[in-house]
A and B are shown apart, each in its own frame.
Chain A
Amino acid sequence: MIAEAETTVARPPEVLARVQPLASPARPTLVLNKRDFHWITDKVCGIVEQPAPLWWWICAAVAAMVASFVPIGLFYLVSTGIGVWGLRPPEFWGWDIVNFVFWVGIAHAGTMISSVLCLLRQKWRTAISRTAEATTIFGIMCAGIFPAFHVGRVWFAWWLFPVPNSQSTWPNFHSPLEWDVFAVNTYLTVSLLFWYMGMVPDLATLRDRAKVTWRKYFYGILALGWRNSTRHWRNYEMAYLVIAGMATSLVVSVSAIVSADFASSLQPGWHTAIFPPYFVAGAVFCGFAMVLALLIPLRSLFKLEDVITQYHIDCVCKATLAIGSMVAYVYTMEFFIAWYGGNLFEVFTFINRAFGQYAWAYWIMLSCNVLSPQLFWFKKVRRNLPLVFLVALLINLGMWCERFVIIVTSLGNDFLPSSWGYFTPSVVDIFTFFGTLGMFGLLFLLFIRFLPMLPISEMKHVLPEADPHFGERGHITTGADGVPKGGGL
C-alpha cells in the first residue's frame, strides 16, 4: 500500500498537464432567447396579474358546467342507491373503480417529475414541475370521489378511519381497501405539501408585486411571511429535499397499494404478482401523457415557448416512450405467465380479454398504449406538436381502457360460467366521469389563473446567470497565498 502510494505521489505532474479532457457536450439551454430573471418574473406573474383572456372565461364556463355533473350525479346516487350506476353482478366494480385508478394514475406524473427528477438533478424538470404537481393534486381529488361514493352507504364511509364508533370495531387492516385509504390520503397530503412549499417563494413574489389590497392579503397569507433571507432559503432547500425524498417513495407506494386491491384478490386476471410495478409504470405513463396534453396548449396560449422549449417536450416524450415500453413489456409478460402458469382460469381470462366480448377495449388499449408511443422514436414526430398532443390524448384513452380491461373483463368472466355477465355503464356513470374531467379542468384553470403556473425561483436557478461561472467570473481558484480569487458574485 505504501509503495503504491509512493508511486502515485511520484507520478510526474506533466502527465496530467498532457491530459486533454473531452469537451462534454453542451447542455441544451433551458431558457431560450437569453431571457433574464426579470423577464421570467414578469412573464409568470403577468399571467396571474393581467385580466383573464376570453378563452379562459369560455373554458372555465364549459368546465364548470361539466363539473356540475359530479354533484348532481352524486346527489342522485346517494339519494337513490348505487343501482343508478351500471354495476351488476358479477361486475360489482365498473366505471367507478376504473375512474379511480385512472385518476390516481394521472396524479402520478407530478410527483414523479418533481421528486424523482429533482433527486436525479434533472434540471429540465423545473419548467414543468409546477403544472405537473397541480395535475397530481387535482387528479387525486377526482380520484377520491369514486372510492368514497361507490360504497352503498356513503354516510358510514368514515368507519374506514380508525376512530371510535358505536360498534367499538376498528377497520380491518388486512383489507387492501383500507390500505388505499391511507396510501391515497398520505399521497394527497405529501403532494399538497410539496406543491405548496415549492410555491412559497413565488407567492411572495406575487405578493410583493401586488397592487390591489385583496391580492396583498391573499398572496401575503399564502406566502407565509417569506422574506427571501438566506436562512429561509437554506431551510426551504432542505425541506424541499426531504419532502422530495418522501414523495419519491410515495410514487411507488400509492399505485402499488392501489394495485393490491386487485393483486391480493383471487380473481383470475387480478391475482398476479406483477401488478405493483405494472401499476406504477402505467400510472407514470399516463401521468406523463397528461402533462404533455396540458403543456402543449398552455405553452402556445401563454407564449411560453422560451421557457417550455422543444427540449422539454423531447424529454417528456422520451420518458413517455421509455415507460410505455415497460408497460408493453408487462402486457406481454402477463400473457406469458398466464400460459406458463398453466392455470386454465388464467389462460381463459387472458384469451378472453383479447378475443372475448370486451376485445374492443383490449385492442384500443393495445394500440393506444403500445403502438402510438412508438412514434416518439422519431425526432420529427416529437417536433410536431399537434401530433404529440394527439398521441398524449390517445395514451390517456388507452390507459383508461387498460383499467377497464383489468377490472371489468376479469370480473365479467371468472370462475363459474353460470355467473358470467356483461357490464354496461349507465348514463349516471358516464356523466359522473365526464363531470370529473370537467372538475379537473376547472381546478386547473383556476390554478393557472391564480397561482404561479411556472416555478419562478426555480427557473431562475437554471438560467445561465445563476451559474456561478457565468460571464467573466471564472473558477474559484486559490492563489499562491492560499486566498481564493476570482469567482464569487
Chain B
Amino acid sequence: MKLKFHHPEPSARELTGPRYWRSLDNLAATPAFKEWVVREFPAGASELEGVNRRHFLKIMAASFGLAGVGLSGCRQQTLHLLPYSKQPERMIPGVPIFYASSQPGPEENLPLIVETHDARPTKVEGNPSHAATGGATDIFAQASVLDLYDPDRAQRSSGADGQPMSPDNVTDKLSQLVAAFSPMRGSGLYFLSNRSTSPARARVVDKIRQKYPLAVWAEYEAIDQSNPERTASAWFETPARPVYDFAKAKRVLSLDSDFLQTEPGHLANARGFAKARSVEAEADMESMNRLYIVESHYSLTGANADHRLRCATAQVPAVAALLAAELFTQAPLSSRQDEVLAVLKKLGAGATVDPKWVSACVKDLLAHKGAAAVIAGSQLPVELHQLVTLMNVALGAVGQTVTYRALPDRPPAASIADIAVAIDAKKVQTLVILNGNPAYNAPGDLNFAAKLKTVPVIRYGYYGRQADETSALAGTFIAGLHYLESWGDGLTWDGRHVPVQPMIEPLFEGLGELDVLGMLAGDPNADAFKYVQDTFAAMHPGKSFDEWLAVGVAGDEAPAVSRDDVGIRADALAAWTYRAPEVSEKSLEVRFIPGAGWDGRYTNNGWLQECPDPMTKLTWDNAILVSPKLGKQLGVAPEPVLMNKLGQTAMDANTFVKSVEQAQIGEITVKGRTIRGPVSILPGLANWTLVVALGYGRKLAGGVGQDVGFSASPLVSAAGAMACSVTGAVLKILPDVYQLANTQEHWSMEGRELVREANITEFHDKPDFARELGLEAHAPPIYGPAKVLSPQEKAVEIPRGQMLYQTQPNNEPQPNYPAWNTPEGRADYPTPQQWGMSIDLNTCLGCNACVVACQAENNIPIVGKDQVRRGREMQWIRLDRYFASGPGPDGNEQTMEIPEDPQVAFQSIACMQCELAPCEVVCPFAATVHDDQGLNTMAYNRCVGTKYCANNCPYKVRRFNFFDWNKREIGHFNEGPLGPDYYATEASQLTRMQKNPDVTIRMRGVMEKCTYCVQRIEEAKINQRVKAQGTGNIKVPDGTIKTACQQVCPTQAIQFGDVSDAKSAVSIAKASPRNYAVLGYLNTRPRTTYLAKIRNPNPEMPDYHNQPLTRLEEGARYKMGVAEGAAAAT
C-alpha cells in the first residue's frame, strides 16, 4: 500500500532542521502516526472475533470512515487540514493582517506596512503615516520580501570547518570571544559593520565601545552616500545632514546627483519634486519647477531634467566652481568676493562648458531666490558639498528648500581602509564583520579578500556560506535574520523613529543583529525586543510603545540646525587643492553607479534582476555603457539595417541580431587593474565616460545572482576624493561577442504620438494640445452621437465589450436577480462603479517601482535571462523608454545617427482595459470578457492559448505562459516533464510562501495581463457591502482601492478610481486638458488614459528648443512646422 501525502517525504536534512513551518510532516513522520496509517484497519478493527452483525457493521463503518484519512484509491489527492486548536487572535483565514515596520538602509529606514497572510509576509507597502514618503516605496523595498524566502539564504551558523553550529554553540563562541578580549580591553578586536540608522543598535554599539575601549569599530558601505552628512557635520560642528524640500523648489540645479532615484531620501525627494512639477491647469505655468542637471551618466533625474549638461563626473566639481563663480558674480558676496572668485576660477580651470549655459542657469536660479536649490551627488567630494552649501546660502535656500537636520550624535567610525592597514600591520586578532560583503565589493586597491584570509573572521550575515563571498572566507559564520523576521528600529531620512518588527518567526536558525551585538557587549541574555523597547522609552519618554508599533512612526522630524555665520568660509575652499583631471578619448573616466542589486546585496533577487533598467532596458546583466561618440570610435556602433539606410526609421543604438543585443566584450584598464564586460551604447552619456553598474559578477550569490554580469569593484579605488569614478581608463574592444537580454530594441518613437509632450509655453497657449496630436485629431468623432455625452455618461451609457454575449446595459440589473427586477428593486439597483486609470507622464519618473510592485502583488513569475532574450518576460507593466533626438542640422529627420544628447520620455504601459477591447472579440473561447465594472477580465480557466488576443492588442500588454514558469526551474524550461519539478523541491516550499493567495498562479499555455488588481477591487467591494448592511450604500468610496502600482508610486502619477463619478480623483485627472488616449484613433476606448508631459525649458539657455524634441522630430517627418523646428535647432 502506497501512501501519498501532499508534502513529499521529509529529507534527512529537514528532519534535523527547523521544524515549525513543516510541523505537519514532522507529525506525519512520527512512528506512531505512520504505524496508524499503514495498518489497513485501525487498532481493534482487524480483530474480528465473535462479533455479531451489528458490531461488524459498526467496525466497517468506522474503517471506511478512517480509510479516507491516509489511504490511496480516491481519484483526488488526499489533503490534510490541521485546524487551530486555539485560534490566534485576529487571524481570520483569507483576511490579511497588516503590520507597520521599516526596511533598514545605510542612511535611512523606509517606513513600511507589511501585508501578511496566515503569518506569512507577502507584500510590503509604504507607510502613509510618514508624510514625507506618503506611502510610497521603491523597487528594493518591494523586492525585499522575496529575499526573505530566498532558498539560498543562510539557514544555520557554521564553524571553522563548515561544521554546523547550533544557536547555543554560537552563544558559547561569542562568550569565549568576550572572555578573551575583555581583559585586553578589546585590543586586537576589530569590527567592520554596515552603516545603520538604528538608535537601538547605536546604544548596543556604545556598550561595546565601553566594554572594549581599544577595539576598533569601522563602518563600510560599498556605495557610500555619507558625504553630504560629513560636510554638514563639519560645517555646523554638530551631526547634521541636508534634507531638501523639493516641493518648495521652483528651480533646482543638480550636480551629478540622482536625487530622484538612487540618493538617500529619494522617495521624499520624488514626492516633493512631483508636487512642484505637476501642472493641473495652464494657470500653473508659474508654479512649475525647472530642473538643471550636470551629469555624466544618464540618470533618471537627468531624464526628468529640463536642461542637461553632459560632463564627466570628475569634472563636475570644476563645473560647479564655475557655476558658483557665476553665482557670486551675479549676486556679489558681502565680503571677500575677489578672494572667493579667484579660488573658484582656479578650481574651474579644467572644465570646458558653454559660458552661456552657466550664466543663464545661474540667472534663473537667482531669479527664484528662496525657491531655488542646488544639490550635489553624495558620491562627490566633501569640498564640493561645502561649495554647494555656499551656493544654497547665496540662493537663500537654507531654511526654505534645504534644511540641515540634526542627526544623533554618534562617535566616529573607522573606515575599511583602516582595517586593511591594521590587518597588514598584524594588529588584528579577530575581525567581526557585521553584514556587508567586503570580500566581494571592497575597493579593488585594498585587495581585501586576500587580507581576510590572513585573520580570524567572525562573520554575521544574512547570506550563508554558500551564497556570500565574505562568509566563505570567515572562520565562524553566524546566520542572520531578514528584517521581516527580526526586531530593530531606525530613523527615516527626516529623522523620525520607526520600528522594525518581525512578521514571522525566523524561518531558519538565525540570530538577530541586536542579539549578537548584545552578546558581544557581554550580555549573554541579549534580547533585541528589550533593546528596542528600552531605546524607544529613552527616546520618547511617556509615549506608548504599542502605539508606535501600530502606527509605525514616532516623533517629529529631526530639528533643524543653523549657525549665524553659516555664510562664507572661503578658507575651507582655498584649502581645496582640486584640479579637474583630463578626461578625453585617451584617458577615459569610469563612473560607478548602483546596479539592480545595489552594491551586490540584492543580487540574488530575481525580481530585481529581471526588472529592466529604465534607461538601458537591460536585464540580468550590467554592461560597460559608452556614449554614441565613443562607441563609434571604438567600432561597436551598429550598422544601419536596411530600413535605416532608406531613412525610414531611426537607427538602433546597439547591434541587434534577431532581436538580441550583440555586445562586444570590452576591457577597461585603470592603473594596471582590468575588468571585462560587454559594451553597450547608451545615448546621452558624457562623451568620454564609461558607466558601469556595481553589484554584479558575484561568484557566490546563490541560484539567481551567481555570475550575473561582471564585477566592477576591482576598479574602485579607496583612495582619492571620489570613489564613484576613476579616471585614466583605457577601453579595449575584444573580438568576443556577448548576448545581452535587452527588452527594448528600438529607442525612437518614430514620430508616432505615443508620449505627447509640449513646452510649458505651448501648454499655456493651447492647453488641449494633446488632443490635437495623433491620428484621432484628423479622424471623425469616434464616439458618434455619444460625443456630446460627459465622460461619466460615456462610461455608463455606451455598450462595452465585443463579446457575443453582451453584458447587461449598465443601468439595468442582471436578469437573474429577481429582487431587482421589480420596479422598486430597479430603483435600488446601483449602477456598478466603472474603473479607470490615469497616468501622469509629467510626474512619472521612470523609477520602475510599479513594475516590481505589480510583480509582487500578482504572483508574476520570472523567466530567466534566456527567455528574456526571447522577449518572453512576464511583467504586466512595461515601462517604455523613448529617446528623442530632434531633427538633424538640415531640418530633416535625422535617422542615420545615434543621438548623443537626446531627451527621454517614459511611458508605463499595462492593460488599458479598453471598452471596445480588440482582444475580446477575437478570442474563440470567450476567455477574455468584459464585466459590468468596465474591466477586461481574464478567465484563466477558460483560456486555451490561441494568443490571438495578444496579436490583436495594439498596446502589446498581454503576456503568455510559454512554459510552466512556476513549475519548471529557470534554465530547464525546454526539458519539459523530463526536467526537474520545481514544486517538488524544498526551495519551492519557501518561495511559494511569498505568493499572494488572492491571485491565481497561472499554468503554461495561458494568457495573462493586468486586471487593475481586481482582487483588491473585490476585497474593497466586499468590505463595503459588509459595512453597508442593507443600507444600499455599496459604492466603494473614492480612494479606498489602490492598485499595487498606484500605491507604490512615489510621485502619485497614477490615479485609479470610478470614472462614472465626476468627483473621483481619476475623473478629475481625466478632465485635464492634457488627457489623451494612446492610439485613440483605433477607437479601443481605453480606460487607462495618459496626461501629456510638460517640459519647462529656459528660453535663455543655449540648448533651448521651442518644442520638445519628439515634436520637432514629428514635425520634420511630416513636414509640419519644419521651419519652426529647424530654427529652434540651430
Contacts and interface: CB of A to CB of B under 8 A. Distances in A.
Interface of A: 76, 79-84, 87-90, 92-93, 150-154, 156-157, 159-160, 167, 169-178, 181, 261, 264-267, 343-345, 348, 351-352, 355-357, 359, 411, 414-422, 424
A416 B659 contact: no
Nearest to A262: B951
B942 A169 contact: yes
A152 B1005 contact: yes
Interface in B919-963: 921-926, 941-948, 950-952, 954-956, 959-963
A152 B924 CA distance: 13
A93 B947 contact: yes
Contact of A417 (B658, B749, B975): B749
Given A170-B926, A418-B746, A80 B976 contact: yes
A67 to B, nearest CB: 22
Contact of B642 (A89, A357, A424): A357
A422 B1005 contact: no
Contacts of A174: 802-804, 921-922
16 contacts: A79-B977, A80-B973, A80-B975, A80-B976, A81-B964, A81-B973, A152-B945, A153-B945, A156-B944, A169-B926, A265-B948, A266-B954, A417-B749, A418-B878, A420-B659, A422-B656
Interface in B504-523: none
A82 to B, nearest CB: 6
Given A411-B951, A418-B744, A422-B658, A80 B878 contact: no
Given A83-B867, A152-B961, A175-B921, A348 B946 contact: no
Nearest to A424: B658
Given A90-B951, A151-B945, 4 more contacts: A151-B947, A153-B1004, A266-B918, A420-B745
Contacts of A172: 803-804, 921, 923-926
Contacts of A88: 659, 870-872
Nearest to B976: A80
Contacts of B925: 156, 159-160, 171-172
A356 B643 CA distance: 5
B882 interface: yes
A333 B687 CA distance: 48
A176 B804 CA distance: 12
Contacts of A421: 659, 745, 871
Contact of B962 (A82, A154, A415): A82
A347 to B, nearest CB: 9
Given A175-B924, A418-B878, A90 B872 contact: no
B946 A344 contact: no
Q: Of residues A88, A151, A175, A348, which shows the largest number of chain B Cβ atoms within 10 Å of its Cβ?
A: A175
Given A266-B954, A344-B751, A83 B659 contact: no
B944 A151 contact: yes
A380 B948 CA distance: 47
Contacts of A344: 751-752, 775, 1118
A351 B648 contact: yes
Interface of B: 641-643, 646, 648-649, 656, 658-659, 744-746, 748-752, 754, 775, 802-804, 867, 870-872, 878, 880-882, 907, 909, 918, 921-926, 941-948, 950-952, 954-956, 959-964, 973-977, 1003-1007, 1079, 1082, 1084, 1118
Nearest to A181: B924
A84 B945 CA distance: 15
Q: Which of A87, A267, A418 has the most CB of B within 10 A?
A: A418
B643 A87 contact: no
A348 B648 contact: yes
Contacts, number: 210
A79 B1004 contact: no
Top 8 nearest A-B pairs (CB, nearest first) are: A152-B945, A152-B1005, A80-B976, A83-B962, A92-B947, A418-B880, A153-B1005, A419-B956
A178 B925 CA distance: 8
Contacts of B921: 172, 174-175, 264
B1006 A152 contact: yes
B918 A157 contact: no
B804 A173 contact: yes
Contacts of A81: 961-964, 973, 976, 1004-1005
Given A81-B964, A81-B976, A267 B1006 contact: no
A264 B1079 contact: no
Contacts of B923: 172, 175, 177
B782 to A, nearest CB: 14
A301 B942 CA distance: 52
Given A89-B872, A417-B749, A83 B963 contact: yes
A481 B775 CA distance: 83
B440 to A, nearest CB: 34
A345 B753 CA distance: 11
A172 B641 CA distance: 42
A416 B951 CA distance: 13
Of A93, A153, A170, most B-chain CB atoms within 10 Å? A153
Nearest to B646: A355
A359 B646 CA distance: 12
Most buried by B among A87, A89, A93, A153: A89
A418 B752 CA distance: 11
A257 to B, nearest CB: 13
Given A83-B973, A87-B962, A418-B746, A265 B924 contact: no
A261 B923 CA distance: 11
B752 A160 contact: no
Given A172-B803, A265-B918, A344-B751, A152 B960 contact: yes
Contact of B960 (A84, A92, A355): A92
Contacts of B952: 265-267
A177 B870 CA distance: 26
Contacts of A176: 922
A160 B867 CA distance: 30
B617 to A, nearest CB: 9
Given A81-B973, A87-B962, A267-B952, A171 B926 contact: yes
A171 B924 contact: yes
Nearest to B1003: A153
B641 A356 contact: yes
A178 B924 contact: yes
B980 to A, nearest CB: 13
B715 to A, nearest CB: 33
A418 B1079 contact: no
- Residue from B802, B952, B959 with most neighbouring chain A CB atoms (10 Å): B952
A155 to B, nearest CB: 9
Nearest to B648: A351
Contacts of B751: 344
A3 B876 CA distance: 86
A177 B1082 contact: no
Contacts of B926: 169-172
B918 A83 contact: no
Instruction: Please indicate which of the listed interface residues B746, B925, B947 has the most CB atoms of chain A within 10 Å of its own CB.
Output: B925
B904 to A, nearest CB: 12
A361 to B, nearest CB: 12
A153 B751 CA distance: 40
Contacts of B948: 92-93, 175, 177, 261, 265
B863 to A, nearest CB: 9
B746 to A, nearest CB: 4
B45 to A, nearest CB: 38
B848 to A, nearest CB: 15
Contact of B746 (A82, A84, A417): A417
Contacts of A150: 946-947
A171 B751 CA distance: 40
A416 B1079 CA distance: 9
A93 B751 CA distance: 27
A90 B871 CA distance: 8
B924 A177 contact: yes
Given A152-B945, A422-B658, A355 B924 contact: no
B1079 A415 contact: yes
Nearest to A352: B643
